[in-house]
Amino acid sequence: MQITLESKPFAGIETEALVFYVFEESDPVQGRVAEIDKLAGGLLGRLAKSGELTGKTLEFTLVHAPAGVKAARLLLVGAGKKEQFNSATLRKIAGAALRYLKSRSVKNLALLVREGDVTEEAAQSVAEGVLTADFEPDKYKTDKKNDKRIESVTIAGYSDAERTAGEKGLTKGRIIADSQNFARDLINEPSNKLTPAILAQKAEAMAKAAGLTVEILDEKRIAELKMGALLSVAQGSIEPPRMMIITYNPPSPRPGAPVIGLIGKAVTFDTGGISIKPADGMEKMKYDMAGGATMIGVMRALAALKPSVKVICVVPSTENMPGGRAQKPGDIQTAMSGKTIEVLNTDAEGRLILADGVHYAKQLGATHLIDAATLTGAVVVALAGINVGVFGSDQAFTDKLLASAKAAGEKMWQLPMDDEYREFIKGTVADIQNISSGKGAGATIGAMFIKEFTGDSPWIHLDIAGTAWNDDAKPWLAKGPTGVALRTLVHLVMSY
Ligand code: BES
Ligand code: ZN
Ligand code: ZN
């Protein structure tokens, strides 16, 4: 899909649909909307008066063959209350407009950014909104005869003087959204098409093309490095595990700058192992590699955006299968750090592979750690598909991430990590156990386990189990993989 910025007056833009947004106010026909209203002979004023045009969030009003403008249609999208409007609303409006028009076989559209909103950030949001909205998880459908496609999007409303800022935002938005879609494409792959080895190949190809340093550890190297926690999960599968390391080195590193470690859980299929999951809904466990895919996508974006800090991405990947060699409840494993673990439930495997992942990231020089993982069903109970669960060992670092989440328009909510929860994972015969001996706080317990391997490093854990997959389509996003947390993490790294 082509996206361009157009600085000529919007009345003269030849497009199948001119999209603009309208606030929920006593008179929604104001500013640029009033200008269009005038050209269209007062049509919008009449729609507002009749109650058809209110500006309520994501209300759509489609007008065909409007007078006074070159566009074939006008699409008015409700933007809600003006006080609450921000770049996240604009991103959703752009995305929802694209999906609305695409379903009506429209092939191109122009979105008019409103007076007062014409910034670099707005152009970025529009680009991100339309590109992520355009993604369809239909790669394996063979009948594409009736496929509807948006071929081009024009961002309008920027004057010649505002053009540079707009172009900058558009470029940045494209890099980020393409990377988010890259991650979503990986997440959407079923486990027979995406084994740990195939994921590693794809990560390596991406890294090489993007100019990043990459190293793939195979099962032999993983064993030599004594990554016992990762190996314990992998031993039940005939598919060998992989550990991916992708590094971004800034052109001129700032002395004393942090080195960010991004660790992502990539279980290409989670059957639960010997502690096997129920059949109902098990097919969804192909997305148990979403954390890893997201981190690989973040690196893809960073390679183009060139932040000034070093970033090391570590992705442990395996299947979790109940094979003849699979680990069994009660088995004791030694993690790379030397800590011993009682594996009381083989379905709590994400924390095991992350134990070695965070330890290795530290060993490679990461000073600040962030992991992303579809870790617990408990976070789905707590926050559903609305918020990412956030856990942190350092409040200043966690606050910085939460601020980035807000700026990137991704909902995240911090959950507790009190020392008292440590008791719940104290081992009986080994150092720690991989599930709680008590009841409740399942998402926190998962985080507490990972924390055991982070030492004194500031560390954040993102539990994306509830948010990595959309069970239902949203007006601005297809059903399926979301690529959540990518934008926040890119924003966070860029803020250093
Ligand atoms: N991959 C699952 C978590 C999950 C649940 C992801 C729902 C996406 C949607 C994880 O490995 C798991 O099975 N966790 C267990 C932990 C329990 C055994 C302590 C869970 O949450 O049930
Ligand atoms: Zn599991
Ligand atoms: Zn899992």
Residues near 91 by Cβ (< 8 Å), separated by ≥ 6?
Answer: 125, 126, 128, 129, 409, 476
Which residue's alpha carbon is nearest to atom 9 within ligand 1? 465
Give the three-state DSSP class for 296.
Answer: helix
**What is the CB-side half-sphere exposure of residue 109 using CA atoms within 13 A?**
32
Tell me the three state secondary structure of residue 422.
helix
pLDDT band per the 50, 70, 90 thresholds, residue 256: confident
Question: Measured from the CA of 446, which atom of ligand 1 is nearest?
Answer: 19
Q: Which atom of ligand 1 is nearest to the CA of 435?
A: 19
d(CA 463, CA 354): 12
pLDDT class of 255 with cuts at 50, 70, 90 = confident
426 catalytic per annotation: no
Pocket flag, ligand 1, residue 273 (CB < 6 Å): no
Q: Is 378 in the pocket of ligand 1 (CB under 6 A)?
A: yes
pLDDT number for residue 37: 97
Task: Pick the atom of ligand 1 nearest to 320's CA.
Answer: 11
Distance (Å, whole) CA 450 – CA 101: 45
Residue 131's φ and ψ, nearest 5 degrees, are: -70, -40
Confidence at residue 254, expressed as pLDDT on a 0 to 100 scale: 81
Residue 196 has pLDDT above 80, yes or no: yes
Checking DSSP bridges between strand 73-78 and strand 18-22, what pairing results, if any?
parallel
What pLDDT was estimated at residue 147?
Answer: 85
Structure tokens of 453? 């391997």
Q: Which stretches within 372-480 are classed as H helix? A: 377-383, 395-408, 442-451
Angle between helices 87-102 and 120-134 (to 10 degrees): 40
Whole-number Cα distances in Å, 116 to 119, 165, 174: 8, 14, 23
User: How remote is the CA of residue 239 from the centroid of ligand 2, in Å?
Assistant: 17
Residue 351 alpha carbon to ligand 2 centre in Å: 9
Give the residue-averaged pLDDT of 27-45: 96
What confidence tier does 322 reach under pLDDT thresholds 50, 70, 90? very high
Find the Cα–Cα–Cα–Cα dihedral 164, 167, 171, 176, rounded to 10°.
100
Q: Which of 202, 351, 362, 451 is catalytic?
A: 351
Interatomic CA distance for residues 136 and 143, integer angstroms:
14
360: number of Cβ within 10 Å: 25
The pLDDT, as a whole number, for residue 188 is 98
Q: Does the C-beta of 349 come closer than 6 Å to ligand 1?
A: yes
Calpha distance 82→76 (Å, rounded):
15
Ligand 3 centroid – CA 411 distance (Å): 22
Contact 350, 443 (CB under 8 A): no
Whether the predicted pLDDT of 268 surpasses 90:
yes
The answer to whether 343 touches 333, Cβ cutoff 8 Å, is: yes
What's the pLDDT score for residue 253?
81
From CA 492, how far away is CA 496, in angstroms rounded?
Answer: 7
Q: What is the CA(375)–ligand 1 centre distance, in A?
A: 5
Bridge partners, 68 (sequence order): none
Q: Which residue, judged by its Cα, is nearest atom 7 of ligand 1? A: 377
User: What is Dmax (Cα atoms) for the chain?
Assistant: 81
State how far the Cα of 320 lies from the Cα of 347, in Å rounded to an integer: 8
Q: Give the Cα separation of 21 and 97 in Å (integer).
A: 10
φ, ψ dihedrals at 280, nearest 5°: -65, 115
Of 375, 388, 425, 470, the one to substitute when testing ligand 1's pocket (max ligand atoms within 8 A of C-beta) is 375
Taking only the tens place, the pLDDT of each residue in 142-190 is 988 778 999 999 999 999 999 999 999 999 999 999 999 999 999 999 9
Residue range 309-333: mean pLDDT, rounded: 98
**Beta-bridge mates of residue 110:** 18, 154
pLDDT value at position 144? Answer: 80
pLDDT > 70: percent of the chain: 100
Secondary structure (DSSP) of 135-202: --S-TT----TT-----EEEEE---GGGHHHHHHHHHHHHHHHHHHHHHHHHHHS-TTT--HHHHHHH
State the average pLDDT for the chain: 97
Closest ligand 1 atom, residue 436 Cα: 19
| Catalytic pick among 82, 163, 277, 422 | 277
**In this structure, which amino acid lies at residue 471?**
D
Q: Catalytic residue at 351? A: yes
pLDDT the model gives residue 87: 97
How many A from CA of 276 to the centre of ligand 2?
Answer: 9
Which ligand 1 atom minimizes the distance to the CA of 442?
19
Task: From residue 367, give the alpha-carbon distance in Å to each of 34, 97, 210, 364, 461.
Answer: 53, 42, 24, 9, 15
> Which residues on adjacent β-strands are paired with residue 262?
313, 370
463 ligand 1 Cβ < 6 A: no
Is the pLDDT score of 249 beyond 80? yes
Cα–Cα distance for residue pair 357/346, rounded to 1 Å: 18
pLDDT tens profile 390-446? 999 999 999 999 999 999 999 999 999 999 999 999 999 999 999 999 999 999 999
Q: What is the pLDDT of residue 186?
A: 98
Tokens of residue 169, six digits: 């935002």
| Sequence letter at residue 362 | K
Distance 448 CA to ligand 2 centre (A): 16
Q: What is the pLDDT of residue 457?
A: 98
> pLDDT-derived band of residue 235, with 50, 70 and 90 as boundaries?
very high
CA–CA separation, 461 and 393 (whole Å): 9
Give residue 307's identity as a one-letter amino acid code. Answer: P
Instruction: Tell me if 344 CB under 6 Å of ligand 1.
Output: no
pLDDT at 387: 98
d(CA 155, CA 168): 13
- Residue for token pair 């192909």: 286
The pLDDT score that the predictor gives to residue 17 is: 98
